[in-house]
Amino acid sequence: MVKLICFAATHSTSGFNVLTYFDMTQPAPQNAPKINLRRPDIMEVVQAQVLSHYRSELVERMRAKGQVVSANGDLTIKLAKEFGFCYGVERAIDLAYAARKVFPDRALYILGEIIHNPEVNDQIRDMGIKFLSGKEKSASLDDLKEGDVVIIPAFGAEVSLMDKLKAKGCQFVDTTCGDVMSVWKRVRQYASESVTSIIHGKAWHEETKATSSRATAQGRGHYLVVFTLAETDYVCDYIVNGGNKQEFLEKFKGAYSPGFDPDQHLQALGVANQTTMLRGETEDVQRRLRAAMVRRYGPDDVTRHFRFFDTICGATQDRQDALQKLLQEPLDLLLVIGGYNSSNTSHLAEMGESKLPTYFIKNAAKMVSDELIVHYNQHLQKEIETANWLPSGRVTIGITAGASCPNNLIEDTIKRLFVLRNVPLQEVLRD
């Protein structure tokens, strides 16, 4: 029997939602047992635990004082107005912690990283929650049996995987973000109208895999994932001029639905995007595809052949907007803090790179000294070292952090900068 633990898909910035219903993407089974993980007694403990792990007094003080901290007039640090944990991440973490409290003696599993931050995933593992995939994998699907509790990460999971777990009789703590579910709704709609979903995203990312699986979930529909503008242009050219089908299929291997045929399935398109893409780029993708459809089918018929819904989430947008604003101020360099596999964080780093020296780091320890920083180069997909990264003399540093980065890591980074500049921390923490 399939058992479901049910949650509301609404958010609050406090992260404490009222349990109301189960996985909103599926019809509710009759008499599905419901377990309220958000009981006040549970949430009181969870809140204290989450705060003790991730809170930062320094960051809160900076928020209250215009996002700036400065010492000796020598080092000034400016935080973007929006940064760090989003509502979806807060909710996912709360639910995972609550699950541990509600099931203290049960084996608890998680499909993979709950969010893309190594420190947060370490905490989850330290609570005895077993990972079913990834570098930290400590159990496999074969180990699962009826009644085992499986946490679904904030990105959601593929339909086929959910079906397997249901068939095993697992219980779910489903932390899928409501904004991700909105994309699922969109691609389902496209499928029901025989419109191929063009998903702007990373075909290898958990969220995009989960979304792609919804584009074919009703036994019909097709999808194609495009990541870059160059890929988009290739698709546009194929739409307008046709091309070599085998070459097309080879180029997009692993990024389209079974049976996808570019000669048949590019005649009616609906664009959706991974929630964490760069807005400007997503708009470009849809503009280029629309223009191709106009060239192919004419302006009068384009509405029959092309649809677009922006599915970038509010939190991603807010962080990009806030960084855009921060980048208009005079800064010497930018630090972007977050997990290297975090999509929204990598886009913040991209924004910074286009304007000024930008260092994408996962924690403060990466600032080895004032002469050496180890940081992630997303184009090379590896950490690299940069010497003489911290200018001498008066310096102003901008900081932002991805939606999966906790405040305590931001505080560590700020403190480390002051240590590197030999500013006593008491001076920073004064008043």
- Binding residues for ligand SF4, rule: CB under 6 A, are 86-89, 154, 177, 179-180, 275-276, 313, 315-316, 344, 403
Rounded Cα–Cα distance for residues 222 and 235 (Å) = 15
**CB 154 to ligand SF4: min, Å:** 4
**CB 14 to ligand SF4: min, Å:** 14
User: What phi and psi, each to the nearest 5 degrees, are found at residue 139?
Assistant: -155, 160
> Which residues are 387's β-sheet partners?
372
207 is catalytic: yes
Chain residue whose CB lies nearest ligand SF4: 88
**CB 210 to ligand SF4: min, Å:** 11
Within 8 A by CB and 6+ apart from 412, the residues are 363, 364
Select 82 or 179, whichever has its Cβ closest to ligand SF4. 179
Select 15 or 262, whichever has its Cβ closest to ligand SF4. 15
Select 156 or 221, whichever has its Cβ closest to ligand SF4. 156
**CB 402 to ligand SF4: min, Å:** 8
Select 102 or 180, whichever has its Cβ closest to ligand SF4. 180
Output the six-digit token pair for 320. Answer: 């990009």
Output the six-digit token pair for 235. Answer: 């698709």
**CB 380 to ligand SF4: min, Å:** 25
Select 76 or 320, whichever has its Cβ closest to ligand SF4. 320
Cα-only R_g, the chain: 23
Select 39 or 185, whichever has its Cβ closest to ligand SF4. 185
**CB 342 to ligand SF4: min, Å:** 9
Q: Within 10 A of 308 (CB to CB), how many other CB atoms are there?
A: 19
Which residue of the set 82, 113, 207, 411 is catalytic? Answer: 207
Select 349 or 367, whichever has its Cβ closest to ligand SF4. 349
Cβ atoms of 401 and 409 closer than 8 Å: yes
Cβ atoms of 349 and 333 closer than 8 Å: no
**CB 400 to ligand SF4: min, Å:** 14
Select 221 or 338, whichever has its Cβ closest to ligand SF4. 338
| Torsion angle, alpha carbons of 270, 292, 344, 156, to 10 | 20
Select 133 or 182, whichever has its Cβ closest to ligand SF4. 182
**CB 62 to ligand SF4: min, Å:** 22
111 burial class (0-12, 13-18, 19+ CB within 10 angstroms)? Answer: buried
Active site residues: 207
